Amino acid sequence: MESVERQRGDDAPRDRRQQGPGLNAKLNWLRAGVLGANDGIVSTAGLVVGVAAATTDRGPILTAGLAGLAAGAVSMALGEYVSVSTQRDTERALLAQERRELRELPEEELDELTDLYEDKGLSPATARTVAEELTEHDAFAAHADAELGIDPDDLTNPWQAAGSSAVSFTVGALLPLIAILTTPPHLRIPVTFVAVLAALALTGSISARLGGAKPVRAVKRVVLGGALAMTVTYAIGQAFGTVV
């Protein structure tokens, strides 16, 4: 009876650990999505504001906005795909090395796992017991978790990262594009400024809360950055629009 209760007690933490990485992964993707949307807002807003400062014709503004949206979404997707693919390759290489070491040096790996749990605060005897029991249950999973911090069954997905970045960038980019195309010429730039800064304040607040940081500081950074980007491109549009 005692062993059954102990087994149930051991299963509960393991279930929570299995849920933890999944939750963390979801938060990371959500955070990446918010940041992608933020990039889409800032880059597209800067582009269309610069063009709108040079001309009141909707055609060039629409063309520039769509071109910037497409280029930015593709660039974000490719960047995420390459980055996450590299991370996935690294994870696979580390896991393959761990499998080889467990096969060739089982005693040394058991000692290493014991040391890892001692470093986490367990007594030498308890750490040894935990290491032996986890090794008996699933040595590879135990080392992947304690030594590498990797879940072999939940490796990063480059296609998911690429798709998430492209979609979030596109959604963010549509806001300044719609704002500047659906307002009268004399209100385009101020309305776009207000809409963009409000959207940046929202994305900054969300990203800060997801990361456990103070929203006020994060909001100030993204809002000031967005305002600076639009101001610079507006000035460039004004200067070169009158020259061309």
pLDDT of 158 reads 84
Residues 56-69 have a mean pLDDT of: 92
Structural contact between residues 150 and 144, judged by C-beta atoms closer than 8 angstroms = yes
Task: List pLDDT tens digits, range 44-62.
Answer: 999 999 999 988 899 999 9
| Res 13 pLDDT > 70 | no
Task: Tell which wins on pLDDT, 5 or 72.
Answer: 72
| Res 240 pLDDT > 60 | yes
| Res 88 pLDDT > 70 | yes
Task: Using the Cα atoms of residue 60, residue 65, residue 70 and residue 76 in order, give the sign of their dihedral.
Answer: positive
CA separation for the pair 153, 147 (Å, rounded): 16
The top-scoring range by mean pLDDT among 17-31, 44-58, 82-96, 127-141 is 44-58
| Res 41 pLDDT > 90 | yes
CA separation for the pair 51, 211 (Å, rounded): 35
Structural contact between residues 152 and 95, judged by C-beta atoms closer than 8 angstroms = yes
pLDDT of 18 reads 41
Q: Whose structure tokens read 């880059």?
A: 43
87 CB burial (10 A radius; 0-12, 13-18, 19+): middle
Residues 203-209 have a mean pLDDT of: 83
pLDDT of 94 reads 86
pLDDT of 15 reads 41
Q: 57 — phi, psi (to 5°)?
A: -75, 130
Task: List pLDDT tens digits, range 122-133.
Answer: 888 888 888 888
Task: Quickly state the pLDDT bin for 10 (edges 50, 70, 90).
Answer: very low
pLDDT of 26 reads 60
For residue 92, give the nearest of 42, 50, 150, 176 by alpha carbon.
150
Task: List pLDDT tens digits, range 157-200.
Answer: 888 888 888 999 999 999 999 999 999 988 999 999 999 999 99
Q: Whose structure tokens read 């967005």?
A: 226
Structural contact between residues 234 and 226, judged by C-beta atoms closer than 8 angstroms = no
**Helix runs in 105-187, H state only:** 106-119, 124-143, 158-181
In the chain, what percentage of residues exceed pLDDT 70?
85
Residues 201-211 have a mean pLDDT of: 82
Residues 83-91 have a mean pLDDT of: 87
Task: Quickly state the pLDDT bin for 204 (edges 50, 70, 90).
Answer: confident
Task: Quickly state the pLDDT bin for 8 (edges 50, 70, 90).
Answer: very low
- Compute, in degrees rounded to 10, the torsion defined by CA atoms 39, 42, 47, 50: -160
For residue 75, give the nearest of 170, 8, 141, 160 by alpha carbon.
170
Please give the single-letter amino acid code of residue 176: P
Task: List pLDDT tens digits, range 25-40.
Answer: 565 666 677 788 889 9
